[in-house]
A and B are shown apart, each in its own frame.
Chain A
Amino acid sequence: MSASAVYILDMKGKVLICRNYRGDMDMSVVDKFMPMVMDREDEGQMSPIIQIGEVAFIYIKYNNLYLVSTSKKNANIALVFSFLHKCVQIFLEYFKELEEESIRDNFVLIYELLDEVMDFGFPQTTDSKILQEFITQDGHKLEIAPRPPMAVTNAVSWRSEGVKYRKNEVFLDVIESVNLLVSATGSVLRSEIVGAIKMRVYLSGMPELRLGLNDKVLFETTGRGKSKSVDLEDVKFHQCVRLSRFENDRTISFVPPDGEFELMSYRLNTHVKPLIWVESVIERHAHSRVEYMIKAKSQFKRRSTANNVEIVIPVPLDADTPKFKTTIGSCKYAPELNSVIWTIKSFPGGKEYMMRAHFGLPSVETEDQEGRPPISIKFEIPYFTVSGIQVRYLKIIEKSGYQALPWVRYITQNGDYQLRTS
């Protein structure tokens, strides 16, 4: 790929910041971009690539910003998209929110970052921890440890030498997200668990870590087939993990990057009962009112509890005078989302709750714009994983021989969790 320039534009197409990488294009070419996007939007032919003459605009939208990359030749579209998304991620790590305001506040920092992540249109280092070494700005979010000395030659590209902490600690989060799609008739269209092990590493020197999981393949080869184990599918590792060792004897061994990163992800296709099930009866009386009866059921073990459950029920655009009745939790009408949000702070397993909502509808009907959006659910179940995955040990070996503490947490949460309504 080779990007000629990268721009960040606001909703009206005004350039907030731009960086010319190759100098082979007039920078003002971007003026043609926004009118073209508008045209396309009007005609309903949206696409993430717009070609004007010999210039290709490859763009993504984030909040109310456009990140646009222009390219003349040989651009590798998929890679440019990945790069733009990566940029968003880096900006977010540096200043939490990415929006017009934060761009204005962090002008020089963005220039510095843009200088480092790409050179002459080719991506360079995009690892935020390594990037930090080249960034002189202070007071940004990432600065936790004293800045390590410049990495001159790195044995591994993701960790600098000479990192030092007073207290050596490792935090391990096992997070499983449940993706669910249920059809209007109540049959499960898709159900899948995406797991991730995220780490926050505050360790000095070049530590060597080994992680033991209750991996089924490992247990079978070592003759512990009877113990409880999980069958991980589609395992993906951070680049620091030695893949050859994993292939050989299923050991997960690695020199971790400093700070926060995702060590591995996996997928489980085993069919599990949807953790939170919602049945809805919607009665529409055109021109007068619409009534909802929502029944939510928790289908996990009694000793677990789902926290901060939010059931978002879409209602018509022009609904008014909301009335609610629930057995538990609270309901709120959120007109900006055209939804009712039913919040249940704590939802123990094996319970069933009801909610009724009543809305008035105007006698004159507006054109139905939104289709029938699905009900979506947010939740978080601590100390519980659907897969039953367990961290058996985390060994930390460093040549200076310090003792380090590993902390482990398990969480199951919603991913893309949607139930279509009829």
Chain B
Amino acid sequence: MENLSIDYILRELSSMKIATDVPRCRHCLSKVLQLCSSIVAQDLSPFLPPVVNLMAHSDLLIKKSACLILTKVSECKSELFLLAVNTLLKDIEDSNPTVRALSLHTLCAMKHATFVEHRYSSVVKLLSDPSAYVRRAAVMSVVTMYHDEKSVSKDAVVVNRLYELVRDDDPLVVVNCLTVLEEILESEGGVVLSRKMVGYLVKRLESFTTWGKAYVMKLLQKYKPKSEEEILDLMNVLDPFLDNNCATISLYTLQFFLLLIKDLPDFKDDVFLRCQKMFLGVFTCGNSELISCFLDYLQKEHKPDKNAIQKLFADHYKVVFCKQKEPGYLKIQKLKLLVELIEEENFTAILEELILYSSDRDPQVSICSIGCLKRLVLEWPGVSTQLLKAFHKLLRSERNHVVSNTLQVLVTFSPETLKNLSEVSTQLCLIAQKMSDAEAVVAVLYLIGQFELDNADSLDVIEEFINKFSELDVKVKTQLLMTSFALFCKQPAMFQPILAEVIDLCMHDDDCDLVYQAKCYFSVLHTDAQTAMKIFC
């Protein structure tokens, strides 16, 4: 085990030899960095003297590490800072662009007054550096400056220079300028996008990095063309970006197009269909987070426009099918989309998929899938045999959460719909004895009250619950009361003793709502049983 104590490293770094032994020095500095990386506050100020010395070292890696450590200890105060500033200022004049950029970065990262006073002149100077790499760094440093001292960086010299640099040869400098202008001029609405500027950016777009393209495309969304002709021109030029390698860029292009054609609704369908490949491509990309973002976009922006989604995916619904390894949240989103896509032709295939995931081991996925099944029951009254089978199977599942979820969905159906599902009821009594979570038990009790069941079985179930009445949840007790009443209304003779017993138990419960409810039932029955049955059933 290597000695990582501060003292030891400090001793190593302070020794005279270290500056000549480059590998040893690099190693020691990396150990210091390891110390810095733990968030737990450690006082690293003892390292300052050797680190400031090493900043002037000729080895680039040592210089980099030293600068990085310096920014990490920027909180403390020290006379050594003056020495550090001088080193940095000297390096800003260095012939190596990497060194120039590095020292500017370091200078701007330090919040101490000694450093701050040199920032402005250094940044302005390096904004005109011959190396693109340094210009990139200088442009970004303007934001750092802006966040510390709002007035300085907004002055006309800097802003004008930034606007000039938008026409720079280097693509990254251009994009950096735009991001910086957007940020420091936020209060004035960001970069001014004239027609000329938009034309220029569109022409340069192809040369930008992926991130740059995405950023500029997002930026362009602010621009509102004056004439229809201009809109069409823009759309023609930007059309290739609708199926860019990077799906995010395509998405931004789509968003821009949708904004452009806000007043030309006829185009909307075409634009959307143009992106079909892109959407389908995303589903096979294997990056679940990205797929999730896209589904999110579709759900949020285009939910009202069900037709468009149908058109996009109807023929390719199989792409949307879930994969075993996908995380739960993605499966849920996919299932929600699938149910939107259902049609006569693909009904069986999608149903099969939904049934498969109804018994998923992730309870959330399972309930979502069963919820989708519910929608099918409501929207496709004709094809319910398959669905019935599905519910049958789900209720027989070995996993409790599946059964519980199924029950909870069944409960939400109207009595008319339930009649179509009456075959399911045969298993209810068995389930009632098996289930343990309150939600499921409430549901199953409710269903027992609703269906025409074999009375002897229901009687058994109710009796069993009466036996363990004191252990039950209040919700279950309430439901037990209501179910007994419902059963009584159907078969008064058979269920009268049971109902009496339940009402009696409820009236002596601790929960006052339940007591009140029981009393209410009792008094109603007591006054006029016939009318009461008519009202409640």
Contacts and interface: CB of A to CB of B under 8 A. Distances in A.
Interface of A: 1, 15-18, 22-24, 27-28, 30-31, 44-48, 60, 76-79, 81-83, 85, 104, 107-108, 111-112, 115, 119-120, 122-127, 134, 136-137, 150-154, 156-157, 179, 181, 183, 189-190, 192, 194, 233-234, 236-239, 243, 247, 267, 367-371, 373-374, 416, 418, 420
Contact of B284 (A28, A126, A192): A192
Contact of B290 (A15, A81, A119, A418): A81
Nearest to A40: B329
B277 A234 contact: yes
A381 B214 CA distance: 38
A238 to B, nearest CB: 7
B116 to A, nearest CB: 14
Interface string B288-301: 11101110000000
Contact of A153 (B169, B287, B328): B169
Nearest to A374: B324
Given A107-B37, A150-B97, A157 B171 contact: yes
B369 interface: no
Contacts of A156: 207
B170 A154 contact: yes
Given A23-B147, A183-B352, A108 B39 contact: no
Contacts of B60: 136
A83 B176 CA distance: 17
Nearest to B144: A120
B307 to A, nearest CB: 24
A420 B349 CA distance: 14
Contacts of A194: 284
B251 A243 contact: no
Given A18-B39, A60-B289, A152-B133, A82 B246 contact: yes
A367 B399 CA distance: 8
B323 A416 contact: yes
Contacts of A104: 34
B64 A78 contact: no
* Contact-size category for B: 35 or more
A150 B349 contact: no
Contacts of A192: 284
B64 A119 contact: no
Given A82-B248, A136-B61, A107 B33 contact: yes
Contact of B34 (A107, A126, A416): A107
A145 to B, nearest CB: 19
28 contacts: A27-B39, A28-B39, A47-B329, A76-B248, A78-B247, A78-B248, A78-B290, A78-B293, A81-B293, A83-B211, A104-B34, A107-B30, A115-B105, A119-B140, A122-B179, A127-B209, A151-B133, A152-B130, A154-B132, A157-B208, A194-B284, A233-B277, A234-B277, A234-B281, A236-B244, A238-B245, A370-B361, A416-B323
Nearest to A190: B318
Provide the main secondary structure of the chain B interface: helix
B535 to A, nearest CB: 41
A112 B64 contact: yes
B324 A120 contact: no
The 3 closest A-B pairs by CB, nearest first: A123-B211, A78-B293, A81-B289
B362 A79 contact: no
B26 interface: yes
Interface string B105-144: 1000100000000000000000000111100110010011
A290 to B, nearest CB: 16
A181 B33 contact: no
Contacts of B218: 76
Contacts of B172: 124-125, 157
A123 B61 contact: no
B79 interface: no
A157 B251 CA distance: 23
Contacts of A420: 356
Given A119-B140, A122-B179, A108 B38 contact: no
Given A234-B277, A243-B240, A122 B328 contact: no
A172 B395 CA distance: 55
A142 to B, nearest CB: 16
Contact of A120 (B140, B210, B277, B321): B140
B462 interface: no
Contacts of A122: 140, 176, 179, 211, 215
A23 B170 CA distance: 27
A278 to B, nearest CB: 16
Contacts of A233: 277
A79 B248 contact: yes
Contacts of A370: 361
Given A122-B176, A157-B171, A189-B349, A137 B61 contact: yes
A338 B480 CA distance: 44
A134 B61 CA distance: 10
Contacts of B363: 44
Nearest to B316: A269
Interface string B345-362: 000010010001001111
B80 interface: no
Given A31-B39, A108-B65, A192-B284, A48 B245 contact: no
B327 interface: yes
A123 B210 CA distance: 9
Contacts of B247: 78
Contacts of A150: 96-98, 131, 133
Given A108-B29, A194-B284, A267-B284, 9 more contacts: A44-B328, A46-B329, A78-B251, A81-B287, A107-B30, A122-B176, A134-B98, A151-B132, A267-B281
Identify which of A22, A44, A368, A370 gathers the most chain B CB atoms within 10 Å of its CB.
A44
A76 B39 contact: no
B143 A125 contact: no
Nearest to B218: A76
A44 B362 contact: yes
B319 A190 contact: yes
Contacts of B321: 181, 189-190
A287 to B, nearest CB: 14
B33 A15 contact: no
Interface string B242-260: 0111111001000000000
Contacts of B416: none
Contacts of B281: 234, 236, 267
Nearest to A117: B211
Contacts of B327: 46, 48
Contact of A157 (B68, B143, B207, B356): B207
B39 A15 contact: yes
Nearest to A152: B131
Interface in B236-285: 240, 243-248, 251, 277, 280-281, 284
B13 to A, nearest CB: 15
A157 B175 CA distance: 13
Interface string B134-163: 001100100110010000000000000000
B364 interface: yes
B21 interface: no
Nearest to A189: B318
A108 B289 contact: no
A108 B169 CA distance: 32
B386 to A, nearest CB: 14
A78 B294 contact: yes
B402 to A, nearest CB: 11
Nearest to B352: A183
B131 A119 contact: no
A15 B38 contact: yes
Residue among B132, B133, B328 having the largest count of chain A Cβ atoms under 10 Å: B133
Contacts of A44: 328, 362-364
